[in-house]
Amino acid sequence: MGSDRRSDRQPTINDVARIAGVSKKTVSRVINRSALLKDDTRKKVESVIAELGYVPNPQARALALRRNFLLGLLHDNPNAQTVLNFQIGVLDAIRDTNFALVVRPVDRHSPAMLDDIRDFLEKQRPYGVFILPPISENEELAALCRELDCAYVRMGSTQLDQPQYLVESNDREIVGKAIDHLVDMGHRRIALIEGPEGFRSAFERREGFLAAIKRHGLEYRPEWHAPGLYTFDSGIAAAQRLLDCETPPTAIFASNDEMAAATLHVARQRNIFVPEDLSIIGFDDSPIAAHIWPPLTTVRWPVREMASTAAHKLIDSADADKLPSRLPSELIRRSSVAAPKPDR
């Protein structure tokens, strides 16, 4: 390596690739902290980069690609914790790279939403974008990204696209397992607080709930089904409605932790003890789930891991299909579920 170190010219990516005995693509993967590399390959390339004093030129690369090293996050999501967790996951993936994250809130109800996003993509020329639910379910938005040759990854609760353009969770399946847990504990009167209309996650979680109720041969009553908006206030209204029933449920599954926490709040106001009188399960495993009392049994939605995987799919777009598209959720059992009282 001595002749290269003595040269007055700046080392290039070609020099790194030649001396390390790898392809330029492999060097790019090291620079972008790809998840597809073996540790020994990464260490060898990093050693050569250090020996040569090679410094990637993001401006030159951006000019060649006609893209900036920006990753855009497009969202219109009422759950701030989901957006925050996704940002953290992306930042995990792009730390020590040339990439930066720019967050772009949009209004899915605006007739100008697609025009606004087109303007953003044409002016900022991001390397790629993440599209969060519910706008990830908008096929016109995905088509716009393809039209503008902008790489994208959609986040969803079911398969919305080809695997290289998607990170998804198994909402329907995991909600079924949450209901199985309640049934195993002896519950037969199980209610649902669902998410907002227009969200595929709300649909998938509702379908998982209904399928489990049917599978166990349990009674389904319309009054044990309350709408929600993924917000605390909507959870308050939904829980009040359910607990006002002539025959109230002994367990409630809320489609996110905000509404589950609201259900716990209403129960305390009414001197209903959790879990002795009422069992509650949420969805997300947000910080509130472990911090309230009793700690909340909930579904851990792997948003941070989904985000990190999505970032690697954008950065390593040529190999995106080699990365997983489905990252399964899991049921986290805490203290908000117990067997119902014999007289209930």
pLDDT tens per residue, range 165-210: 999 999 999 999 999 999 999 999 999 999 998 899 999 999 999 9
Per cent of the chain over pLDDT 90 is 71
Local confidence band at 88 (pLDDT 50, 70, 90 cut-offs): very high
User: Is the pLDDT confidence value at 298 over 50?
Assistant: yes
- DSSP, res 64: H
- Inside any domain, residue 210: yes
- Inside any domain, residue 87: no
Across 122-132, average pLDDT: 94
Across 208-216, average pLDDT: 97
Helix residue ranges, H only, the chain? 2-6, 13-20, 24-31, 39-52, 58-65, 80-94, 113-124, 139-147, 171-184, 200-215, 232-243, 257-269, 287-291, 303-315
Q: What is the CATH number of the domain that holds 230?
A: 3.40.50.2300
Mean pLDDT value across the chain = 89
Which pLDDT value is given to residue 1?
A: 45
Which pLDDT value is given to residue 48?
A: 80
pLDDT tens per residue, range 60-69: 554 444 557 8
Which pLDDT value is given to residue 33?
A: 66
User: Is the pLDDT confidence value at 9 over 50?
Assistant: yes
User: Is the pLDDT confidence value at 5 over 50?
Assistant: no
The candidate with the shortest Cα–Cα distance to 147, out of 167, 118, 120, is 118
Q: How far apart are the C-alpha atoms of 311 and 334, rounded to whole Å?
A: 32
Q: What is the CATH number of the domain that holds 43?
A: 1.10.260.40
The tokens describing 313, both together, are 């799919």
- Inside any domain, residue 338: no
Antiparallel, parallel or unpaired: β 297-300 and 279-284: parallel
Q: How far apart are the C-alpha atoms of 79 and 284, rounded to whole Å?
A: 10
User: Is the pLDDT confidence value at 8 over 50?
Assistant: yes
Residue type, 181: H
Which pLDDT value is given to residue 204?
A: 96
- Inside any domain, residue 43: yes
pLDDT tens per residue, range 254-266: 999 999 999 999 9
Q: Are 250 and 150 spatial neighbours (Cβ–Cβ below 8 Å)?
A: no
- Based on the structure, what is the number of domains in the chain? 2
Q: How far apart are the C-alpha atoms of 281 and 269, rounded to whole Å?
A: 18
- Inside any domain, residue 318: no
- Inside any domain, residue 109: no
List 74's β-bridge partners, or say none. 104, 131
- Inside any domain, residue 258: yes
Q: Are 258 and 229 spatial neighbours (Cβ–Cβ below 8 Å)?
A: no
- Inside any domain, residue 294: yes
Residue numbers of the domain that contains 21:
2-49
DSSP-assigned states of every residue in 237-263? HHHHHHHTSSS--SEEEESSHHHHHHH
